[in-house]
Amino acid sequence: MAAKKKASKAIAVRGTGSEVGHVNDWKERLRQKAEKEEQRLAPVGGSNISTRNGQFSVGGDVLGKELEVVILNHARWKTYYDRPFDPDNPTVPACFAVSSSCDRESVNSMEPEDIAPVKQNDICFTCDQNQFGSALQGDGKACRDQIHLAVIAADDLGDDEPEVRILSVPPTSMGQYNMAAKKATKVLKVPLWACVTKVTIVPHKAAFRLEFEIESLIEDDDKLTMLEQKAENILETLMELPDVSLYEPPAKNKRTPPGRTSVKRK
């Protein structure tokens, strides 16, 4: 996904003159898919696309503050790290949970995965690490909430095998994503993977957030068939659990050397 010129508004993929009946069949299939997607959305976590420093980038290549993509699928993640976050030295979370749905009931019933190295609680909703104010700094949660999106660059839709990348949506942007997804399923009556969506990084308080805007509908039968298949197959990748064999407990405080006495100050 190299940096590319800003696409024009005429990015919608047009049909190829198929019969009216065939088009209607696709509309019905898309409507049914939209109903299924709607059940997984909250009421208003391939290779990664980074948003560090307020710009999109892949492998060091800066792409700017806007991307036009097709969002194939999503997964909701909760991750708790038992040490300070270091972006240059990523570690395995001590506790984590994943769900294919973002609706309130599904999120509230999430539980730590069985293979989590150090489970913090039986249920995420009541976990101490999932409460505001539990973070080491600030008033946020120690357990990070994210939605991981599988996306394809809109400019790559003409490729035989367009590359799928992962974009993580932070807590401040989850509502923005859900509104765009609900617009697709409830208003346009199509799943989000049948749309070209513009994702923009905008300033928000002391940091930034992602905004999502549906640009156009995809109407080409071949591309819809390809996207439908990729949307179904990519969910397994979005929910793939980390290799917990790489987890290492945080270093304990050094003990007082022999011959010395630890004295508590008053």
pLDDT per residue over 168-193, tens digit each?
999 989 999 999 999 999 999 999 99
Domain of residue 240, residue span: 20-246
Is 2 domain-assigned? no
Is 181 domain-assigned? yes
Is 117 domain-assigned? yes
Token digits of residue 182: 């609900």
Is the model's pTM score more than 0.85?
Answer: no
Q: What is the rounded CA–CA span in Å between residue 224 and residue 33?
A: 12
If residue 217 lies in a helix (H) or strand (E), which one and from where to where?
A: strand 207-217
Token digits of residue 165: 């990348």
Is 4 domain-assigned? no
Number of domains in the chain: 1
Is 15 domain-assigned? no
Q: What is the rounded CA–CA span in Å between residue 96 and residue 116?
A: 6
CB neighbour list of residue 67: distance below 8 Å, 6 or more residues apart:
49, 56, 151, 153, 198, 199, 200
Is 7 domain-assigned? no
Q: What is the rounded CA–CA span in Å between residue 242 and residue 244?
A: 6
- Residue 130's identity, in one-letter code, is N
pLDDT per residue over 59-95, tens digit each?
888 999 999 999 999 999 999 999 887 767 778 899 9
Name the 3-class secondary structure at 182.
helix
Is 212 domain-assigned? yes
What's the longest Cα–Cα distance across the chain?
89
∠ CA 133-121-252, nearest 5°, is 75
∠ CA 50-52-56, nearest 5°, is 50
pLDDT per residue over 24-65, tens digit each?
788 888 877 776 665 554 433 347 899 988 899 998 889 999
CA within 13 Å, CB half, 24: 3
Question: How many C-beta atoms lie closer than 10 Å to residue 168's C-beta?
Answer: 17
